[in-house]
Amino acid sequence: MPTITGRTVTNVSDTTDFKAKGNELDIVFNPAKQWRILANFAQQETVQTNIAPTAKAVIAAMRPVWEELKDRPRTNYPTGFVPGTPLPASFETVDQFVSNTVYIPFATMPATEGSAAAEQRKYRANFVTNYTFARTGLLRG
Can you give the pLDDT at residue 117? 82
**Number of domains making up the chain:** 2
Q: Is residue 4 included in any domain, yes or no?
A: no
Q: Which residue has the higher pLDDT, 138 or 141?
A: 138
Query: Which class for 115: exposed (0-12), middle (13-18), buried (19 or more C-beta within 10 A)?
Result: exposed
Q: Is residue 1 included in any domain, yes or no?
A: no
Name the percent of the chain lying above pLDDT 70. Answer: 89
Q: Read off the pLDDT of residues 47-61 as tens digits, 9 standing for 90 and up.
A: 988 888 888 899 999
Q: Read off the pLDDT of residues 86-107 as tens digits, 9 standing for 90 and up.
A: 878 788 888 999 998 888 888 8
Please check whether residues 106 and 120 belong to one and the same domain.
Answer: no
Dist CA 27 CA 90 (whole Å): 68
Does the pLDDT of residue 31 top 80, yes or no? yes
Domain containing 19 equals 14-49+115-141
Does the pLDDT of residue 3 top 50, yes or no? no
Contacts with 55 (C-beta within 8 Å, 6 or more apart), sequence order: 12, 14, 106, 109
Dist CA 132 CA 141 (whole Å): 8
Please check whether residues 100 and 67 belong to one and the same domain.
Answer: yes
The stretch 19-30 carries a mean pLDDT of: 95
Classified as helix, coil or strand, 94 is: helix
Dist CA 94 CA 91 (whole Å): 10
Q: What letter would DSSP give residue 21?
A: E
Contacts with 126 (C-beta within 8 Å, 6 or more apart), sequence order: 38, 39, 40
Please check whether residue 55 is in contact with residue 113, taking contact to mean a CB–CB distance below 8 angstroms. no
